[in-house]
């Protein structure tokens, strides 16, 4: 089984990183850290270390100054559960899930997971099941369905659900076979452009403008990470788009937050103006949604030659599920994790990973890919497209191997987390939040802007120094 350093080396060099740079990284801590048969803490440490090392290399390009990056495994695992530990005015998080979200048995003896945190997803499930939004009613309705048929029908109606599959069943599917042909992080040149000079600044990403069109965890974590290294990150949302408030607070650190109504011509004009002056465009929409509005990767490269366009998807950009909606919990269910953890725990049914690890690791890989592509743009020019997915990160995590008796590991006691927390002001109240775990010796990661309610800022870039 590979060590975390060996795993990091593979990730770093596969994205074009110089192997010599790995000497600047120190990884501390040992597995296991959390109760899981999977190497979730190593995945946390490696994905965060990759993004920190990319920031260090950019700083070296900009300033000529090398620096060291240190990531402790326990701190990284805590950061990959940051939403659990956030406190606002000393108040803990509200319930994370909608009342009918979760796991149910179906008539054929299998299991399905429903994700109903957004109203339109809940409505789609109720439409298919024709029942009240009560757990008992949902369970009774699902006993009349086969799991696979329900999964197909719910997706067709606009819902987001997953049938629990053993890993072997997933691996035999056409989609898993398509994913096996893709890299963990795809970085492709999509247009010609002159190299853009680095702006002035005293942080790795100072003066770099990032448009963040994402919600929930993975995409927002990517934006939060880029902001921690000095980027001007503007979160774009809309007043009518559903959001999960606690995640908005946790992942809004360091960002400007603006409303742009993309369904209006005025909103699209505003977005084109923002995009024309951006360096990185990071988004988690399904491809057709933005393409229909004129914001596909090729459109962005024409509007702003030299752009780095980052695409997040649930199930990857190839294969029959490429257009399918999904969230971390559902990808865990569909691709074998929940079944494997359940078997390891000796229970009849799904068991979740002890963190939304596919989300968090993918978020750090998004930031890593964006920085690696931006560095290439500065060196050789071009417009670039970076693609990551929850399912591909899951495939990577699975292939790291398993930990025998890992589920016997106790979860973190409360006092174990406190050294990794800090106090921050915000537009929501005083925050007690997880600090960045990538410790940079010359350019410490921090958030220069407080987390603010959605739409707090006008959709205009701040002036560069």
Residue 201, helix vs strand vs coil: coil
Average pLDDT of the chain is: 95
- Binned at pLDDT 50, 70 and 90, residue 98 comes out as confident
Per-residue pLDDT reduced to its tens digit, 392-434: 999 999 999 999 999 999 999 888 999 999 999 999 999 999 9
- Greatest CA separation for the chain: 65
Per-residue pLDDT reduced to its tens digit, 244-260: 899 999 999 999 999 99
- Provide mean pLDDT across the span 234-243: 89
- Cα separation of 232 and 442, whole Å? 20
CB-CB contact of 158 with 104 (8 Å): no
User: What per-residue confidence (pLDDT) applies to 344?
Assistant: 97
- Closest by Cα among 47, 456, 420, 58 to 230: 58
User: What per-residue confidence (pLDDT) applies to 312?
Assistant: 96
Least confident piece of the model among 91-100, 178-187, 203-212: 91-100
User: What per-residue confidence (pLDDT) applies to 287?
Assistant: 64
pLDDT greater than 90 at residue 442: yes
Rounded to 5 degrees, what angle do the CA atoms 192, 364, 214 make? 75
- Provide mean pLDDT across the span 435-464: 96
- Provide mean pLDDT across the span 6-32: 98
Per-residue pLDDT reduced to its tens digit, 73-82: 999 999 999 9
Q: How far is residue 410 from each of residues 76, 142, 167, measured CA to CA in Å?
A: 17, 35, 26
- Closest by Cα among 379, 447, 460, 457 to 203: 447
User: How many Å separate Cα 202 from the centre of its chain?
Assistant: 27
User: What per-residue confidence (pLDDT) applies to 185?
Assistant: 98
- Binned at pLDDT 50, 70 and 90, residue 141 comes out as very high
- Cα separation of 252 and 214, whole Å? 11
Token digits for 387?
Answer: 């693609």
Q: Which residues contact 345 (CB under 8 A, 6 or more apart)?
A: 351, 407
User: What per-residue confidence (pLDDT) applies to 93?
Assistant: 85
- Provide mean pLDDT across the span 201-206: 97
User: What per-residue confidence (pLDDT) applies to 158?
Assistant: 86
Burial class (CB within 10 angstroms; exposed 0-12, middle 13-18, buried 19+) of 65: exposed
* Helix 357-380 / helix 328-335 crossing angle, nearest 10 deg: 110
CB-CB contact of 387 with 309 (8 Å): no
User: What per-residue confidence (pLDDT) applies to 242?
Assistant: 80
Q: How far is residue 313 from each of residues 169, 349, 389, 413, measured CA to CA in Å?
A: 22, 27, 5, 34
- Binned at pLDDT 50, 70 and 90, residue 123 comes out as confident
pLDDT greater than 80 at residue 71: yes
- Closest by Cα among 387, 177, 182, 360 to 296: 387
CB-CB contact of 250 with 83 (8 Å): yes
Rounded to 5 degrees, what angle do the CA atoms 445, 392, 326 make? 90
Burial class (CB within 10 angstroms; exposed 0-12, middle 13-18, buried 19+) of 380: exposed
CB-CB contact of 253 with 451 (8 Å): yes
Task: Report the first-to-last Cα separation within the chain, whole angstroms.
Answer: 48
CB-CB contact of 50 with 8 (8 Å): yes
CB-CB contact of 251 with 228 (8 Å): no
- Binned at pLDDT 50, 70 and 90, residue 170 comes out as very high
User: What per-residue confidence (pLDDT) applies to 222?
Assistant: 98
Per-residue pLDDT reduced to its tens digit, 283-330: 998 767 899 999 999 999 999 999 999 999 999 999 998 888 888 899
pLDDT greater than 70 at residue 199: yes
Q: How far is residue 28 from each of residues 12, 52, 354, measured CA to CA in Å?
A: 18, 15, 21
- Cα separation of 170 and 19, whole Å? 34
Comparison of pLDDT for 31 and 124, the residue scoring more: 31
- Provide mean pLDDT across the span 330-345: 96
- Binned at pLDDT 50, 70 and 90, residue 182 comes out as very high
């Amino acid at each position: 089984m590979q060590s975390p350093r060996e795993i990091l080396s593979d990730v770093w060099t596969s994205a074009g990183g110089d192997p010599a740079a790995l000497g600047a990284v120190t990884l501390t801590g040992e597995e296991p850290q959390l109760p899981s048969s999977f190497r979730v803490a190593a995945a946390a440490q490696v994905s965060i270390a990759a993004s920190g090392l990319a920031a260090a290399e950019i700083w070296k390009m900009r300033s000529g100054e090398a620096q060291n990056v240190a990531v402790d495994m326990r701190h990284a695992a805590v950061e990959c559960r940051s939403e659990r530990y956030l406190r606002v005015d000393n108040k803990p998080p509200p319930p994370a899930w909608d009342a009918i979200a979760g796991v149910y048995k179906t008539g054929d003896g299998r299991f399905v997971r429903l994700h109903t945190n957004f109203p339109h997803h809940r409505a789609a499930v109720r439409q298919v099941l024709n029942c009240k939004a009560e757990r008992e009613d949902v369970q009774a309705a699902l006993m009349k369905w086969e799991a696979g048929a329900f999964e197909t029908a719910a997706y067709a109606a606009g819902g987001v659900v997953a049938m629990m599959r053993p890993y072997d069943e997933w691996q035999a599917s056409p989609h898993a076979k398509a994913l096996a042909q893709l890299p963990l992080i795809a970085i492709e040149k999509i247009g010609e452009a002159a190299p853009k000079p680095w702006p002035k600044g005293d942080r790795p990403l100072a003066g770099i403008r990032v448009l963040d069109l994402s919600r929930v965890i993975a995409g927002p974590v990517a934006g939060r990470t880029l902001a921690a290294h000095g980027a001007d990150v503007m979160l774009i949302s809309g007043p009518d788009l559903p959001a999960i408030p606690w995640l908005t607070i946790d992942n809004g650190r360091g960002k400007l937050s603006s409303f742009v109504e993309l369904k209006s011509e005025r909103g699209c004009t505003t977005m084109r103006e923002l995009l024309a002056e951006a360096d990185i465009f990071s988004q988690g929409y399904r491809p057709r949604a933005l393409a229909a509005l004129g914001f596909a990767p090729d459109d962005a490269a024409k509007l702003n030659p030299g752009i780095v366009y980052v695409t997040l998807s649930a199930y990857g950009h190839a294969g029959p599920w490429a257009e399918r909606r999904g969230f971390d919990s559902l990808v865990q269910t569909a691709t074998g994790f929940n079944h494997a953890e359940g078997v390891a725990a000796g229970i009849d049914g799904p068991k979740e990973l002890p963190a939304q690890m596919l989300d968090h690791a993918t978020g750090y890989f998004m930031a890593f890919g964006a920085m690696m592509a931006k560095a290439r743009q500065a060196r050789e020019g071009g417009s670039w497209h970076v693609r990551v997915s929850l399912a591909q990160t899951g495939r990577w995590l699975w292939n790291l191997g398993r930990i025998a008796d890992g589920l016997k590991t106790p979860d973190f006691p409360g006092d174990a987390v406190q050294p990794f927390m800090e106090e921050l002001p915000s537009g929501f109240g005083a925050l007690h939040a997880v600090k960045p775990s990538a410790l940079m010796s010359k350019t410490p990661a921090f958030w220069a802007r407080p987390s603010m309610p959605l739409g707090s800022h006008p959709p205009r870039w701040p002036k560069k120094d």
